[in-house]
Structure 1
Amino acid sequence: MKRILFICFLLGSMAANAQEQPGFLTDNAVSPIKNQQQTGTCWCFSTTSLLESQYLKDHKKQDIDISEMFTVRNTYLDKGRNYILRQGHAQFSEGGLGHDVIHTISRYGAVPESAYTGLTGGAKFFNHSKMAPRLQNYLDSILKLKKPLPDWEPGFNAILDEYMGKAPATFDYNGKQYNPKSFAAEVLHFNADDYVGFTSFTHHPYNQNFIVEVPDNFSNGSYYNVPLNELIQISKEALKKGYTIMWDADVSNRGFAFKNGYALAPKDEEAIKATPFNPDVAEKEVSPEYRQKLYEELITQDDHLMHITGLAKDKSGKEYFVVKNSWGEQAGPFKGYVYVSEPYFAVNTITIVIPKSALPKSWLKKHPDVTTTL
């Protein structure tokens, strides 16, 4: 997510051009917009938002607020272990994928935002630009020592404490004491097996899992590979049934016009620069082969994760995915949301994570291997 750090910070403070907002076709339960600020933690904000939406759908409550930074902190520990065991030949950065949140909460539990903000020393703004390099430098210094290596985790955790504050062992929530694991089990009713991941690429067989080859997949998460039209259909049907989707995509290509509130795949790329901005432009017909070509040429890359919360349609009849971003409400003309066309989704999607209950039982019976993803 190295590129997106700059994009998030810049666009989060941009003044937005006025645009007409499409009307909702589905308006699913969702928690308020947050701001990842100067961190590469969109993977955590987007997937945490997915979990919050699923909680709201299941329990009809509007007060859940899960700490992203508790999950980020614990994921750093897993990154550190991976980096040490691979002797420094592994990705160590601020980035990650949606399955990392699922894995981390399953292993360490979760806490409410009220119990752990991840800010320390009176700070009101997330900034991990110095923390991540310092953690990696510390691990590199450990690897330079003679074997056997010392217990490096206390020093690693001390750096996390300095930048993020100590994580709570226990805390009170709604008048009851919890620890992270009991909160995840008793309040969130979290079960990692409730979530599945999908992708669509032609260099691996369909209807099988494979480890998606992007740099931030440090934990080697596998996703179930389906044809492109099926990926789109799964996503739309889930949204129509009231579920939401974690979306991993490329947002650095020209069609991502966030300052205008849209993401499009226009046939004429210059159309995206038109003044006034017009979202009703002719868009590309996207084939699996075209999508694969851009991926293998490193044009379509994994550089931002967001949360798809619904479907919308504008006055011309054009449909969009409604996407919740994590750059704050002030970003873009639609209070932090962006409207993504189906062609843009088809070209730029890397992976998605959805609740397994969103999938038809008949589909699951035909694809039993999907239960092993993530």
Structure 2
Amino acid sequence: MKNNITLFVLLFTTWLGFSQSYEFKTTVDLEATNVISQGNTGTCWSFSTSSFLESEIMRLTGKQIDLSEMYTVRHTYFKKAWTYVMRQGKAQFSEGGLAHDVTNSIATHGIVPNYVYSGLKEGEEKHNHSKMADSLKNILTTYLKDTNAYTSNWKNDVNHVLDYYLGPNVTSFNYEGIEYTPQSFLEMTTINPKDYVTITSFTHQPFYTNFVLNIPDNFSNGDFYNVPLDDLIEIMNHALHNGFSIELDCDVSEKTFSSKHGIAVIPLNDSTDALLNVSPEKEITAEFRQQEFENYNTTDDHLMHITGLLKDQNGTTYYKVKNSWGKDSSRVANGGYIYMSEAYAKLKTISIMVHKDAIPKALQFKLF
């Protein structure tokens, strides 16, 4: 009987230790622009990477510039269309994309402030790309169905649709009394697209090599540097502690990822109670991570921007992740940020993008 009482007290104490509301203390908080909404679009890749570059501009120059997400979207859509046609329809054509699509775009086309190219028609306040995406896909499928019967020029038709929904291309503009082109504006920000690298961690490819990750939205065949899982986390933590924010591609389909609660965790018992109360989490191994990737439980659902670190009352590390679903307090918590546990990041991260200087020197030597 005495042993039973002791066991009960032990179990109750353990339960009580985890049945407590979250209390967070911020340990790293890097500069970032305001949380905004991507609206009814699949362009999180542009919103998050633009936010990441906005923080980079602040880090490099001290300037706070609201970049145009839609300027990049416009140019990337045409590149997607070209790839889709050249591969005779055997490629991804959707609203999705990845972080390197943004750096690829700005390397060729430059960048512009949002007020120069908002991608919104007069009177519009929210982005909605459903009709635009359908129109573009219809042009491409009609052309590919019978190229000889297509009486127009598909490239001109794609540009007409992009002009109609997003606005015509920008060649020059005025910013703070100075005339810029998109390319000269990029030079002014001191952003060098070649300085940014994408890093992942999967066991089906050799570590410390780069490879093309075969995920649907990697239509542009971007290279990923592959590192062991512990190294991936080391890079993330080292970057944040040294003033570099992080672009994040991850899976957000878990029931314990919640923008409403502002929490993302991998609880031991899979219970959604973990969205409200501190709960023990699963141990994440490289083998488990690989398994979840190969069985499609982990997919590249969503891209966001990591801007800081926090700890809960038990000392567990969380990443402060800026989302692009707005900051309406009735729908999202933490002003539009997600507090993502290290366990969640280890399991559900597809890749990160960082400035090459954010990587610890010892790992730079192994990668580059």
Counterpart selection for 1:297 from 282, 295, 299: 295
Aligned equivalents of 1:145, 1:195: Cα separation in 2: 39
Aligned equivalents of 1:218, 1:367: Cα separation in 2: 24
Within the alignment, does 1:352 sit opposite 2:352 as a pair?
yes
Is the 1:28–1:242 Cα contact (8 Å) retained in structure 2? yes
In structure 1, the partner of 2:52 is 50
In structure 1, the partner of 2:10 is none
Is the 2:235–2:360 Cα contact (8 Å) retained in structure 1? no
In structure 2, the partner of 1:72 is 73
User: Which secondary structure state, in structure 1, belongs to the residue aligned with residue 186 of structure 2?
Assistant: helix
Aligned equivalents of 2:346, 2:92: Cα separation in 1: 27
1:315 shift after superposition: 2.2
TM-score normalised per structure 1: 0.89
Describe the shift of the 1:352–1:149 C-alpha distance in structure 2 as closer, same or farther (beyond 3 A).
Answer: farther
1:257 shift after superposition: 2.3
Aligned equivalents of 2:218, 2:80: Cα separation in 1: 11
Unaligned runs of 5+ in 2: 1-20
Is the 1:37–1:127 Cα contact (8 Å) retained in structure 2? yes
In structure 1, the partner of 2:177 is 175
User: Which secondary structure state, in structure 2, belongs to the residue aligned with residue 365 of structure 1?
Assistant: helix
Aligned equivalents of 2:261, 2:120: Cα separation in 1: 32
Question: Which protein has the larger Cα radius of gyration, Structure 1 or Structure 2?
Answer: 2
Matching of residues 159-238 of structure 1 within 5 Å: 159-185=161-187, 187-238=188-239
Is the 2:142–2:150 Cα contact (8 Å) retained in structure 1? no
In structure 2, the partner of 1:83 is 84
Aligned equivalents of 2:232, 2:360: Cα separation in 1: 14
1:53 shift after superposition: 0.5
Matching of residues 319-330 of structure 1 within 5 Å: 319-330=317-328
Deviations along 1:290-314, one digit per CA (max 9) or x if unpaired, are 0101111011011000000010112
Aligned equivalents of 1:220, 1:251: Cα separation in 2: 23
Is the 2:281–2:343 Cα contact (8 Å) retained in structure 1? yes
User: Which secondary structure state, in structure 2, belongs to the residue aligned with residue 94 of structure 1?
Assistant: coil
Which amino acid in 2 is paired with 1:175?
A: G
In structure 1, the partner of 2:309 is 311
Aligned equivalents of 1:128, 1:204: Cα separation in 2: 36
Aligned equivalents of 2:183, 2:50: Cα separation in 1: 16
1:361 shift after superposition: 3.2
In structure 1, the partner of 2:101 is 100
TM-score normalised per structure 2: 0.90
Is the 2:61–2:189 Cα contact (8 Å) retained in structure 1? no
User: Which secondary structure state, in structure 2, belongs to the residue aligned with residue 100 of structure 1?
Assistant: helix
1:149 shift after superposition: 9.1
Aligned equivalents of 1:316, 1:362: Cα separation in 2: 31
Is the 1:31–1:53 Cα contact (8 Å) retained in structure 2? yes
User: Which secondary structure state, in structure 1, belongs to the residue aligned with residue 335 of structure 2?
Assistant: coil
Is the 1:257–1:264 Cα contact (8 Å) retained in structure 2? no
Aligned equivalents of 1:348, 1:233: Cα separation in 2: 16
User: Which secondary structure state, in structure 2, belongs to the residue aligned with residue 130 of structure 1?
Assistant: helix
Is the 2:143–2:150 Cα contact (8 Å) retained in structure 1? no
User: Which secondary structure state, in structure 1, belongs to the residue aligned with residue 113 of structure 2?
Assistant: coil
Taking CA–CA contacts closer than 8 Å with sequence separation of 6 or more, which of the two structures ends up with the larger relative contact order? 1
Deviations along 1:80-132, one digit per CA (max 9) or x if unpaired, are 11011101111000000111001011011111011010011421110001111
Aligned equivalents of 2:333, 2:254: Cα separation in 1: 19
Which amino acid in 1 is paired with 2:25?
A: G
Which amino acid in 2 is paired with 1:189?
A: T
1:189 shift after superposition: 1.6
Is the 1:255–1:344 Cα contact (8 Å) retained in structure 2? no
Is the 2:327–2:333 Cα contact (8 Å) retained in structure 1? no
In structure 1, the partner of 2:33 is 31
Within the alignment, does 1:339 sit opposite 2:343 as a pair?
no
In structure 2, the partner of 1:277 is 276
Which amino acid in 1 is paired with 2:189?
A: L
1:180 shift after superposition: 1.0
Aligned equivalents of 1:298, 1:20: Cα separation in 2: 30
Aligned equivalents of 1:133, 1:211: Cα separation in 2: 28
Aligned equivalents of 1:149, 1:244: Cα separation in 2: 49
Aligned equivalents of 1:149, 1:204: Cα separation in 2: 46
1:362 shift after superposition: 3.6
Aligned equivalents of 2:138, 2:238: Cα separation in 1: 46
1:139 shift after superposition: 1.2
User: Which secondary structure state, in structure 2, belongs to the residue aligned with residue 252 of structure 1?
Assistant: coil
1:22 shift after superposition: 1.5
1:222 shift after superposition: 1.2
Is the 2:91–2:219 Cα contact (8 Å) retained in structure 1? yes
User: Which secondary structure state, in structure 1, belongs to the residue aligned with residue 130 of structure 2?
Assistant: coil
In structure 2, the partner of 1:12 is none
Unaligned runs of 5+ in 1: 1-18, 369-374
Aligned equivalents of 1:215, 1:296: Cα separation in 2: 13
